[in-house]
Amino acid sequence: MTQQIVIMMVIGGVFILLGIGGLFWGRTEERKYFENVARRFDVREYVERSPFRPEPGALKIGGWIIIAVGIVLLGLAGFFLLSG
């Protein structure tokens, strides 16, 4: 039973790290996108979404969701560890 709890804790930690990575990736993409639009005289890229980039908002929201799942997994693992 202890191995399963450790595995759950590791997966929770990995999810939290992936979520933090997604947040930083989203922030970087958003900054690049707005800097690129600000440098151009026309806003064709803004209107046509060309070249395609992952939506920064989706990356940030996905990062928060993954962090929440990781926290829940770590909490459950801690609960099982203390109760068993």
Residue ranges per structural domain of the chain: 2-83
The confidence score (pLDDT) of residue 58 equals 84
Q: What does the alpha-carbon distance between residue 10 and residue 19 come to, in Å, rounded to a whole number?
A: 14
Alpha helices in 1-84 (DSSP H): 2-39, 44-48, 56-83
- In this prediction the pTM is 0.68
Q: Who contacts 54 (Cβ-Cβ below 8 Å, separation ≥6)?
A: 25, 26, 29
The confidence score (pLDDT) of residue 16 equals 92
Express each pLDDT in 16-49 by its tens digit: 999 999 899 989 988 888 887 777 666 665 666 6
